[in-house]
Amino acid sequence: MRWNLTVDQVPSAWFNVAPHLPAPMQPPLHPATKEPVGPDDLAPLFPMALIGQEVSADPWIDVPGEVLDILRLWRPTPLVRAVDTTHRIARGDLAAKVEVHPHDYPELAELADSINAMAASLERARGLERQFLLSVSHELRTPLTSIRGYADALADGIAEDVPGALAVIGAEAKRLERIVQDLLDLARLDARRFSLHPQRVDCADVVAGVADGFRPEIGAAGLAVEVRVEDAGGTGLWVDADPDRLAQIVANLVENASKFAASRIEVGARAEGETVLVWVADDGPGIRPEDRPHVFDRHFTSDRVPSRQVGTGLGLAIVAELTAAMHAGLRLDSPVLGERGTRVVVSMASARG
């Protein structure tokens, strides 16, 4: 039988065509003996005239079917390493890496590098997920501890300030409700099971409304909130966006800023060319350069200690998801006041009111 088998598909150990053949190959196992195949195994099957002869003169040779079955098992060693590593990764061994040797094909070396990068990314994601679960567990445990403590005191009749204890229980219950709501929001955003209702909205009104809503809480924390709207033409800063989601973005940014602000928070909006910018800035300690690329990751936790505990810690991740869904831009500037301060800017295409 005549098979379309080119010379460069034949193992170099058996023919004198080494200059025309690829990098080292791993010998296949004989179908019957399960031992590595050698020239002696092929000799009875192969035309004797080809054994040890120059065969580069004719790129097509007659090969028995049994030989072809064996040669089909022949795989480059780098590919074997890649397959073995992907199997280990699939079993959960994310530390597995494909070794890359200088003599490997460039294409196979690139494949190995891609597999290694994928494994490293999965390993990092697993670590961040673990940190996220620990963080959420802590966030849930804190209000639950307060609720249980005051509830036990009330049940035992030893609470001296009953109205105060009830106020704490109510506040902590609201905090739990907010944590659960944020987790549900993230789940819906992941599953794209949420709706946007875009309409023409004036960013100046959204900024002012959110700031007014936070004034009592921020004032109680000893902070000042300032609204800065730059509308030179007095025609409004109009965009096409979901007003509720846009307000949620600004509220989450204000809430996050209130954790670290030293004395003041600025909420603003202005037009810049064909774009409307909405921002929230604080005069806190700023964000380290190595942390900036990760502040919007839901699993990211920083060793930066907040001045006060506000919110759930998931707000910035929700901001990132919502801005992406609304096709808006998101930028972080830090520092903004000498060596201090942070400003988060949301950019949207301008629309005429």
pLDDT for the residue numbered 236: 86
SS3 assignment, position 111: helix
Contact 27, 10 (CB under 8 A): no
Tokens of residue 68, six digits: 């072809």
| Residue 61 pLDDT | 45
3-state secondary structure 253-301: HHHHHHHHCCCEEEEEEEEECCEEEEEEEECCCCCCCCCHHHCCCCCCC
Spell out the domain ranges in the chain.
7-73, 199-349
Identify the pLDDT of residue 278: 97
Question: What is the helix (H) or strand (E) element at residue 162, kind and residue range?
Answer: helix 162-191
Rounded Cα distance between 215 and 229, Å, is: 17
In one-letter notation, the amino acid at residue 144 is: L
Asked if 268 contacts 229 with a C-beta cutoff of 8 angstroms, the reply is yes
The class level of CATH for 199-349 reads alpha beta
Nearest to 252 by CA among 183, 189, 319: 319
Amino acid 230: pLDDT: 92
- Cα distances (angstroms) measured from residue 221 to each of 55, 215, 289, 304: 86, 10, 28, 19
Alpha carbons 258 and 225: distance in angstroms, whole number: 9
Which residue, chain included where needed, has tokens 């590593």?
A: 85
Output the pLDDT for position 53. 38
Report the pLDDT value the prediction gives residue 347, as an integer from 0 to 100. 97
Residue 186 confidence (pLDDT): 74
Specify whether the CB–CB gap between 325 and 154 falls below 8 A.
no
**Distance (Å) of CA 260 to CA 57, 156, 253, 281, 294:** 77, 38, 12, 10, 17
**Taking Cα atoms as reference points, which of 318, 307, 295 lies closest to residue 179?**
318
C-alpha–C-alpha distance, residues 210 and 57, integer Å: 81
- pLDDT value at residue 34: 66
Whether this model's pTM surpasses 0.85:
no
Q: If you write DSSP's letter for every residue of 200-238 in order, what string do you get?
A: EEEHHHHHHHHHHHHHHHHHHTT-EEEEEEE-TTSS--E
- Predicted confidence at residue 2, as pLDDT, reads 35
Nearest by Cα to 171 from 136, 222, 135, 217: 217
Which pLDDT belongs to residue 188?
75
What are the structure tokens assigned to 20, written together? Answer: 């025309």
The one-digit pLDDT tens for each residue of the chain (353 residues) are 333 334 344 443 343 333 333 434 445 555 566 665 555 555 454 443 343 433 333 434 444 555 545 554 445 567 778 888 999 999 988 889 998 887 777 888 888 899 999 999 888 878 767 766 766 776 677 778 888 888 998 998 888 888 888 988 988 888 788 778 877 777 777 766 667 889 999 999 999 999 998 888 888 889 999 999 998 777 889 999 999 889 989 998 998 899 889 999 999 999 998 999 999 999 998 888 888 888 888 666 665 555 455 445 577 888 988 899 899 999 999 988 888 899 999 999 998 65
Dihedral sign computed on CA atoms, order 340, 346, 349, 353:
negative
